[in-house]
Amino acid sequence: MNSLLLSVIGIGMILAGYVLYSRFLAEKIYALDDSRPTPAVQLEDGVDYVPTNKFVLWGHHFTSVAGAAPIVGPAVAVIWGWLPAFLWVTIGTVFFAGAHDLGALWASVRNRGRSIGALSGRYIGARGRNLFLVVIFLLLLMVNAAFAVVIANLLIATPTAVIPTWGALVVALLIGQAIYRLRWSLPLVSVVGVLALYALIWIGDSAPLALPETVLGLPDKAVWIVLLFLYAGIASLLPVWVLLQPRDYINGLQLFIALGILYGSVLLARPQIVAPSYNQEVPDGTPSLVPLLFVTIACGAISGFHGMVSSGTSSKQLAKESDARFVGYFGAVGEGLLALGAIIATTAGFATLSDWEETYQAFNDGGVTAFVEGGGRIVEAGLGLPQSLAATVMATTAILFAATTMDTGVRLQRFVVQEIGDIAGVRLGKLVATVIAVGVALALTFGAGADGSGGLLIWPLFGTTNQLMAALSLSIVAIMLIRRGRTPLPALVPLVFLGIVTIYALFIQLGTFWSEQNWLLLGLDLVILVAAVWVLVEAVTAMSKARGYDGDDDAELAELSEAEVKERT
Amino acid sequence: MSGRSRLAGLRRGLAEAYAAPYRRTLARAQREEDDLLMVIVMAEALGVPGPASFYTLELLPAVYDEVHAWHRRMGLDSSPLEHLSCC
């Protein structure tokens, strides 16, 4: 099959989902209502609650949710062939991710812009909040460990990306200064920043850097991992305007540019897909497609992380309720397109089937490296860049996405550690909390495999935790729908599906870790399993309780918002 | 739309995209710095000898408006200063 045809079909399916299904959700299920003031309007304070233009809001909603995960997941999952991954990404985006992201945004908007954590307190009960903390702690832990390994692997596989990766930090630092001290205007800063980034890629391409194979007795991969965590720890302690803010901004621009480069190249090069549609001869040791596909691709099909962004920040900036359809659902659409791009790069970016099979020799062998290789070849054919430059562009893109997520992940983990400390009655300082956050992630990375090779073993576990988070948000959405006497099916069907695949996948993984005698991951798997059962039990109890609810949830919430408005004045 | 207003729109949109995700963090950082300044300015009035009080004395009127919000944030129900009752 030609990759152009596949992308047209995929984009068509996802856009049809936006035009048809999201309209149905917005009108019939969530009943978005512009006469109801949003928290941004009602509680406007110029800081958290700011009514924002929907296109701008979509821009930072999308750049916050899209990262390396929708690249890594599909790049691993195409080992079963392109068709299963393609179907899960397209159908998942339309019926799972879209409904979930829009639902979480709606739930939070109706609840004064509160986070999913606070919502679980209201709709599930006192234990809901603790449950949320446990799930989010695990999620961030795995994001940080897995992404450190992803970056380290890429830095070793593509030494030309070393200079742009670390140079991007300098660019971000300078941009922060240009904006705050020199007062440069943003269009100028954007152009200069992006040009500087691409200049670094060009320099890096002609000056590859690699670490010696061992430094102080540690293998090179382990050294990169330690350096990355050291960096992430320091970055999360710096004032945000110094590094994280300009870095996020440039990465956001880069996300759009990279998507443009990738799809533009597919359009120009129109490569044939060489990978099989359904791979019947998967390498030994590849787990079975059901259920592992559904946890390997989390972001790009459905991801609990989106619910956190929806409920944490976006919901406080929505100018009117009907904008939620564009911001929430179309945010999922953007992520789905990124995942689709990753599928195409890893299946059509190889010259022959045997090249592809050579890359995908074992489960987890392909991954981002395959994305860099395949994507690089498509860009080479499409835009006529030299091969190594094209690969450097792809590698740098993937690394920057992963690194920004890691920066934010470490920072958020610090807050979670502090919050857990508060509940336990211990006050943890910034530094101590950061050291704990970085320490556990490092311990997990190295505990899973002594040279840091274990990080990617965590990937399916990361997927399960992410789906668990989504299940938690979906159950809140379902409870709210039941309370309003509407059908909860659009949330309930994905919820049941996720419940089954996550628990099934966790059991399969238990067996794998048991036979590999990897006790650390076995223990972690058990913890997630307990959390998963806990989420489902709480959700079922709360839902059956919600059926007997005869109050008016929206009226109660309106009262609460008015009380909050009064309290502020 | 003319080119100029389009550029202005672009500039506003980019500025919003740059600032919005970090507005809260920056506001909190600013408040922490303001609180520190408050302690320095109010040091003498609170009975703590401050070496810079000769200079900070003239800042006192400038911070009066903030005293109420400040002492509430510091967990004091009423103003810690006898000569300054704000609530």
Among the listed ranges A433-437, A476-480, B52-56, B80-84, which one has the minimum average pLDDT value?
B80-84
Cβ proximity of A244 and A411 under 8 Å: yes
Please enumerate in sequence order all residues whose Cβ is within 8 A of that of A310, keeping only pairs 6 or more positions apart, or say none: A61, A101, A104, A105, A108, A328, A331
SS3 A241: coil
Note whether B11 contacts A186, CB cutoff 8 Å. Answer: yes
Distance, CA of A474 to CA of A467 (rounded, Å): 10
CB pairs under 8 A between A and B: 53
Contact with chain B for residue A255, Cβ under 8 A: no
Token duo for residue A10? 């995929």
Indicate the residue of B10, B21, B27 with minimum beta-carbon distance to A187: B10
Contact with chain B for residue A64, Cβ under 8 A: yes
Work out the minimum CA distance from A236 to partner chain B, whole angstroms. 12
Contact with chain B for residue A56, Cβ under 8 A: yes
Compare A97 and B58 and report the one with higher pLDDT: A97
Contact with chain A for residue B15, Cβ under 8 A: yes
Contact with chain A for residue B87, Cβ under 8 A: no
Contact with chain A for residue B23, Cβ under 8 A: yes
A244 contacts in chain B (CB < 8 Å):
22
Contact with chain B for residue A50, Cβ under 8 A: yes
Paired strand residues for A218: A215
So what's the pLDDT on residue A170?
A: 95
Contact with chain B for residue A44, Cβ under 8 A: no
So what's the pLDDT on residue A569?
A: 66
B9 contacts in chain A (CB < 8 Å):
none
Three-state SS string over A486-533 comes to: CCCHHHHHHHHHHHHHHHHHHHHHHHHHHHHCCHHHHHHHHHHHHHHH
Helices assigned H by DSSP within A158-243: 162-180, 186-206, 220-237
So what's the pLDDT on residue A107?
A: 96
Paired strand residues for A318: A52
Distance, CA of A495 to CA of A464 (rounded, Å): 13
Nearest residue of chain A to residue B22 (CA atoms): A245
Contact with chain B for residue A245, Cβ under 8 A: yes
So what's the pLDDT on residue B48?
A: 83
Work out the minimum CA distance from B34 to partner chain A, whole angstroms. 16
Residue B58 has pLDDT above 90, yes or no: no
Contact with chain A for residue B62, Cβ under 8 A: no
Note whether B20 contacts A317, CB cutoff 8 Å. Answer: yes
Compare B50 and A471 and report the one with higher pLDDT: A471
Contact with chain A for residue B5, Cβ under 8 A: no
CA A277 from centroid of its chain's CA atoms = 26
Query: Residue A436: what residue type?
Result: I
Among A54, A65, A186, which would you mutate to test the B interface (most chain B Cβ atoms within 10 Å of its Cβ)? A186
Note whether B22 contacts A252, CB cutoff 8 Å. Answer: no
B3 contacts in chain A (CB < 8 Å):
none
Domain definitions of chain A by residue range:
3-54+70-568
Contact with chain A for residue B32, Cβ under 8 A: no
Domain definitions of chain B by residue range:
3-73
ipTM of the complex: 0.73
Among A56, A62, A64, which would you mutate to test the B interface (most chain B Cβ atoms within 10 Å of its Cβ)? A56
Residue B7 has pLDDT above 90, yes or no: no
Among A240, A254, A316, which would you mutate to test the B interface (most chain B Cβ atoms within 10 Å of its Cβ)? A240
The count of C-alpha atoms lying within 13 angstroms of the C-alpha of A440, restricted to the half-sphere facing its C-beta, is 19
Residue A219 backbone phi and psi in degrees, to 5: -65, 155
Mean pLDDT by 10 residues, chain A (569 residues): 94 97 96 94 86 88 86 94 97 97 96 90 86 88 89 92 95 93 90 96 93 81 92 89 90 91 94 94 88 93 89 89 96 95 95 92 84 94 92 93 86 88 88 94 83 71 92 95 95 96 94 88 92 90 92 90 82
Distance, CA of A461 to CA of A506 (rounded, Å): 8
A56 contacts in chain B (CB < 8 Å):
13, 16-17, 20
Query: Residue A233: what residue type?
Result: G
The total of other beta-carbon atoms located within 10 Å of residue A18's CB is: 19
